[in-house]
Structure 1
């Protein structure tokens, strides 16, 4: 392998580390101090000014944490689950692989979970006499991002005061000797060339990769060889650019590799009516698919496994502009064991400011059928196949009265936007072709509501 090709692959491999640092620094900024092995609870829902996470949820409260197993184990305590409220507490390795989830869908037993470092065979192990379960991380450093469903804005105070504080992280049994340097702000930030992005990624990779090898054991030798050929020394934790390498070109090529994932018919599966989703086998835990891992890190960091959540996107790669109005027709209620939403984002993946402070439409809101009755919370059965509609229309044009409850504002001034669905606790119908995905059509502003019959 040439040094140039190795550099391209090393950039693809290391890009999730860049997102990890952004995540870590955001936690420090929100908490006021650098902290590891403890949860930092967000007490407000995401808003357009929330830029710590790309494509944020707007109907969950987050609790974030950095995991540092260099000095020993960590204990995670999960309280008894409140019936009717969805929780997921995921645990990620340094490279953003979702190696274990506890909560509503899987590993729902309340109690203490022991988090341990194990270089291979990551995941969850069943309870023993002392712990509700054991979580094995394949890297010394990791992350966690607890998500707690919030029914509406008035529910926030209750979740903040009565639910969040009962989820905790604490330092557990200590190791006889440290297996890596402690996870500090200096380790992730000091002495790196942040003004040159590809150089920065390779320097960061050099600093962290030696103590955080691939979790696929068969990949350790080839990944090590790739990094060394690219100038990343795992022995000295330094990066030296080979004289034959054009770093700018390598980064452009690496970006093209990631972009190709979104256009791949193999990585993304068609769900019908223009919707796609990442193949379930690739969701959350990417194993040797480093291109997919990098693509998701940039576009949707800290993704969950498909058994917990599915994230369908509409026409990935197609430009959508808010100088056009779109109608989304749902062919009945999506069947989930948790909750679902359709969320609006600008071209950078952040929420769209609007006078309603409305950033998603979901199964906990006041959407209505064309006859004015509630889709959720009314007499309509949970498995109803009656169609209902959403209006995606710019904030520059006020929705008509009949559309107000089903209006999701798009950016002002004709800006680009994107949107995606989230199915939490998805049933098989949402991925096996049984459910007919929503149809999206271009319409005039404030079109007449479709009427049955």
Structure 2
């Protein structure tokens, strides 16, 4: 009796392949698949739960941070101090506030504030449409940005987009079906609250009385004409030292802000860490999951900060970020802008190249002296400025001249015969022919931003080259 042959599946596949017509042989590839051999031991499960908690919490942080930030900022900006400092732009809910002085090192509301414009802030709860009225600024630069609750810039009103003639704009809440009155342009907002963030140019040394008078001609009023002086926003939950306080604030914010359809699948994953549209409940979470979530909240800010490096380009040592009004799915960058760069605009309105290091890649510090040499004034349709900031708190730097930037309107700015501009950057006042262009630095770490308002194409396409920042001997 002949012995019975038992073929394994791989052997059978091999023999079939060998009997295939000439030229058609193909070995079946074998791919590594560790899931097939991973045991379900308690140790493995604990490791997986921690990793899952970490991944989901990190994603939820970068996705949801702008919403939490906007809810917190809105409550800050409608809390008007008494007396109100001239650099403050705070105003009650549904009212317009203007700063009546340029930001200084004493102004702490806004990180990375400019020293070029008076700021305007208006927080609107869109229970009905509102009408924004703007005056004729006679070509003076201004812009009013309209941010939804995800810190996404949905509309510009101002010199570049709508011109500087007088105008009226209807700010419509989601789903509003009414008729736009004659003489108004309708601007739809995708969330039920909106932040209007304005800038009005002030030139160094000019008489500010006409500018202050111009501010009073901007207004935001409900379409119905009815006002409620007592209106305010409900307080955020008191989270104390709760390690998951961020998620409690996020859950609170989500009760009044719809999740965008494109984000619903992502958000559904967060149920595994206790975050749902109805609220945040960590009560049923395992200890490994909680451990991973806590670690994610500590790493989240670094992930957001790293987005600048991963999604921006570098031009001669400057971080060059675009798309600040079109984040798409880049949630870490959106989180970063909502944090220390709150209110940032798209590149056609303004560019904000940031410099953290010198030409040798070393961190900038007031312990050293530096020089920036521009081949020419930056090509812009508005104006430019190079502004100094402390690295730790991202605020303007106090100095003996009360000078926080060098730019278009710097009085006595020295321009060389070839059009170049040399700017000394150091803590102590310099000597020499370019001392009039001194940009004072702190004693410790700092960074600088070269703002270019309404940059021309040669700025955006890199025809005009960014200046190098070098350490002086």
TM-score normalised over the length of structure 1: 0.82
Alignment RMSD (CA, Å): 2.7
Q: Which runs of 5+ in 1 are unaligned?
A: 121-126, 176-181, 445-453
Query: Structure 2 matches for 1:335-414, cutoff 5 A?
Result: 335-347=379-391, 348-369=393-414, 386-394=419-427, 397-400=428-431, 402-412=433-443
User: Residues 231 and 131 from structure 1, CA distance in 2 versus in 1: closer, same or farther, beyond 3 angstroms?
Assistant: farther
Asked whether the 8 Å contact 2:429–2:440 carries over to 1, the reply is no
Q: How far apart are the structure 2 equivalents of 1:357 and 1:119?
A: 48
Asked whether the 8 Å contact 1:327–1:443 carries over to 2, the reply is yes
Correspondence for 2:60: 10
Asked whether the 8 Å contact 1:192–1:203 carries over to 2, the reply is no
Is 1:301 equivalent to 2:332 in the alignment?
no
- Structure whose alpha-carbon radius of gyration is higher: 2
Instruction: State the Cα distance separating 1:206 from its structure 2 match.
Output: 0.5
User: Residues 119 and 303 from structure 1, CA distance in 2 versus in 1: closer, same or farther, beyond 3 angstroms?
Assistant: farther
Instruction: Return the match for 2:353 from 312, 324, 328.
Output: 312
Q: How far apart are the structure 1 equivalents of 2:175 and 2:70?
A: 19
Correspondence for 1:111: 167
Q: How far apart are the structure 2 equivalents of 1:418 and 1:166?
A: 36
Instruction: Return the match for 1:240 from 242, 257, 282.
Output: 282
User: Which secondary structure does the structure 2 equivalent of 1:37 belong to?
Assistant: coil
User: Which secondary structure does the structure 2 equivalent of 1:263 belong to?
Assistant: helix
User: Residues 388 and 12 from structure 1, CA distance in 2 versus in 1: closer, same or farther, beyond 3 angstroms?
Assistant: same
User: Which secondary structure does the structure 2 equivalent of 1:145 belong to?
Assistant: strand
Q: How far apart are the structure 2 equivalents of 1:431 and 1:92?
A: 24
Instruction: Return the match for 2:249 from 201, 204, 212.
Output: 204
Correspondence for 1:270: 314
Q: How far apart are the structure 1 equivalents of 2:432 and 2:405?
A: 18
Asked whether the 8 Å contact 2:356–2:364 carries over to 1, the reply is no
User: Residues 432 and 10 from structure 1, CA distance in 2 versus in 1: closer, same or farther, beyond 3 angstroms?
Assistant: same
Is 1:172 equivalent to 2:203 in the alignment?
no
Correspondence for 1:75: 131
User: Residues 6 and 337 from structure 1, CA distance in 2 versus in 1: closer, same or farther, beyond 3 angstroms?
Assistant: same
Q: How far apart are the structure 2 equivalents of 1:307 and 1:119?
A: 29
Residues 16-67 of structure 1 deviation map (CA, whole Å, 9 limit, x = unaligned): 2343244324423445597222211111110112111110011100111112
Instruction: State the Cα distance separating 1:398 from its structure 2 match.
Output: 2.5
Q: Aligned residues, how many?
A: 402
Residues 230-269 of structure 1 deviation map (CA, whole Å, 9 limit, x = unaligned): 322312x4443633222320112322321321221xx102
User: Which secondary structure does the structure 1 equivalent of 2:466 belong to?
Assistant: coil
Asked whether the 8 Å contact 1:331–1:388 carries over to 2, the reply is yes
Q: How far apart are the structure 1 equivalents of 2:193 and 2:364?
A: 38
Correspondence for 1:141: 193
TM-score normalised over the length of structure 2: 0.78
Instruction: State the Cα distance separating 1:213 from its structure 2 match.
Output: 2.8
Asked whether the 8 Å contact 1:9–1:226 carries over to 2, the reply is no
Is 1:429 equivalent to 2:458 in the alignment?
yes
User: Residues 203 and 426 from structure 1, CA distance in 2 versus in 1: closer, same or farther, beyond 3 angstroms?
Assistant: same
Higher strand share: 1
Asked whether the 8 Å contact 1:345–1:352 carries over to 2, the reply is yes
Q: How far apart are the structure 2 equivalents of 1:329 and 1:430?
A: 16
User: Residues 260 and 368 from structure 1, CA distance in 2 versus in 1: closer, same or farther, beyond 3 angstroms?
Assistant: closer
Correspondence for 2:42: none
Q: How far apart are the structure 1 equivalents of 2:240 and 2:383?
A: 39
Instruction: Return the match for 2:147 from 70, 92, 99.
Output: 92
Instruction: State the Cα distance separating 1:346 from its structure 2 match.
Output: 0.3
Q: How far apart are the structure 2 equivalents of 1:218 and 1:26?
A: 30
Residues 400-452 of structure 1 deviation map (CA, whole Å, 9 limit, x = unaligned): 2533310011003xx110101111111111120210111211003xxxxxxxx
